[in-house]
Structures are given as structure tokens and as C-alpha cells.
Structure 1
Amino acid sequence: MVVITLIGEHLAKAGEEFVYRGPLTECRDCKLKGVCFNLDAGGMYRIKNVREVKHECRIHEEGVRVVEVEKVPVKCALLQKYAMEGSTITFETVKCHTLGCPNYRTCHPVGLERNMKFRVARIDEEIKCPEGIRLVEVALE
């Protein structure tokens, strides 16, 4: 589903992905805050289309651009015993002590924070963990 929002001019490029961190207190008096704050905090989004409409902004020096975005499932590692499609989980990073682990970004995905709640949209593949932890890669919504 495509959603309309505003993003800083220098970030407004079709295909770019970003994590929405939530509303800023500096924006509470802005007349456009309803359009800026209509995303889910912690959600990953991809810009589908950049529109010509531009607005001034207190935060972004170059202003903000109207964009169409879609929510992107976030991939991460999950303990195999908790991986059930459709279930709701509370995110926890995998405790890893292996320096240079090839799975580090999957076990510690950008934008996800401890105790955030997600739904397991899809179970992908088993992850080969150097520490022997039974993990699978999942897509979260």
C-alpha cells in the first residue's frame, strides 16, 4: 500500500529506504505534521515516487518533498523456536560474540530496537551461526 508523506529534499530519491524514527517535538506546531507523522515508528519504508510539491521546513534546510512510500518488511534473525509465521514477537538482538560474523547485520538489523513488537510475516531460511545458535531469517511487519 502506498502512503503519502514528507521527507527532506536531499533524501527524496525513488528507491531509497529509510527507518521512520517517530515525531520530533520541534514539529508539534507545524501545519504539515499530520503528513510527516503518518508512518509507524520503527518501520522501514521505500520511496516509490517523488512528487514535484515542495514545502519549507524548520528541520530540513532545503525543505521537504512530497513522496509516496511503501512499508518494507524488515529481515532479521530469530531463534528458531520462536519463528512461527503470523505470530507476534518482541524483538531482541541475538547475543553474538564472534567478531566479523557474516550474519551480524541480520542479527542486528538497522532500525529495530529491543522490545519493539512485530508480526512474523514470512520465514525465509536457516542461518548458519558460528556459535551454534539455531537461527532463521524472517521478515517482520
Structure 2
Amino acid sequence: MKKITLIGSELAKTGNEFIYLGPLEECEPCRFKRICHNNLEVGTRYKIVSVRSANHPCTVHENGVKVVEVMPAEFTIIIESKKALEGVTLTHSDIHCDRVCCENYLACHPEGISGKYRVSSILPEKVECKKGNSLKKISIVPVQQ
């Protein structure tokens, strides 16, 4: 489901993704605060699907903000093989691992996941885990609540 929000003009490009972190103190007196913040969930990754041309003033973004349509982003993560079933709904939990230099670490510990997600596809590429965990790479989409 698409949502309307405002984002810094320099960042407002179709296809860009961001993780919404919540309002800043500087946002409190702004007349656009509700448009910027009320439609988004903290910790969720969004993808910009369209950008409108009008520019609005903003105390946070030097070159102002633009109105954008966003939707929760589909993205790729790594989970335990036993949970990797296409179509299943899950609440994500990171793989227990402290090997931050591992090439898979960021996919095993992704940012921008909040709430429940549906496994949209299981990717065929093999995931090698140096700790010996049986892992799969999957694409997920947020479940609308």
C-alpha cells in the first residue's frame, strides 16, 4: 500500500530506499510534521515509487523537501533454512552470530525490518556459513497490518 510523505529534495529519487527512524526535535514546530511522520512506521524500510515536483521548506533538509509516494520495500535477507518456506509469514529474528566480518553478516542482520513479513521467494543461490548454520537467502515483503 502506497503512503504519502516528505523527504529531503536531494534524496527524493524514484527507486531510492530508506529506513524511517522517526521525527527529530527540529520537526516539532513544523506545519508539515504530520505529513512527514504520521504515515510511516519507525524501523521500516521504504522504497520511493514516485516523486512530485513541488518543493517545500524544511529546517532539517537544506534544500527543502519533496512530496513522495512510498511503499514498504521488498528486500533480500538470510534466514535459517527451516524457516524458508515460500508464502509463510514470519517475524524476523537475526541469526545468532558475532562474525561481523562475514560476507553474509548484513543479510543475516538486516536493518529496516519491523513487524511481520511474508516470504515472497526463496533464492537459488547457495549461502555458505562459516559457523555451519543451514541458511537460505530469501526475498521478503512486509505484511500490511
TM-score calculated relative to the size of structure 2:
0.77
1:36: how far off? 0.6
Aligned-pair identity in percent equals 37
1:133 is paired with a residue whose SS is: coil
The answer for the alignment partner of 2:74 in structure 1 is 73
Residue number in structure 2 paired with 1:106: 107
The aligned residue for residue 115 of structure 2 is 117
CA RMSD of aligned residues (A): 2.3
Give 1:25's aligned residue: 25
1:102-121 alpha-carbon deviations (Å, 9 max, x no partner): 32221122334xxx432233
Aligned to 1:86: 88
Residues 79-128 of structure 1, C-alpha deviations (whole Å, 9 max, x = no match): 23344543332x3322335464232221122334xxx4322333514633
Counterpart CA distance in 2 for 1:140 and 1:14 is 19
Helix, strand or coil at the partner of 1:131: coil
Distance 1:97 1:48, change over 3 A: same
Number of aligned residues:
137
SS in 2 for 1:127: coil
Contact persistence 1:12–1:65 (CA under 8 A): yes
Q: Which moved more, 1:42-51 or 1:124-133?
A: 124-133
Distance change >3 Å, CA 14–CA 123, structure 1 → 2? closer
Q: 2:34 is paired with a residue of what secondary structure?
A: helix
Q: Which runs of 5+ in 2 are unaligned?
A: none
Structure 1: 5+ residue runs without aligned partners?
Answer: none
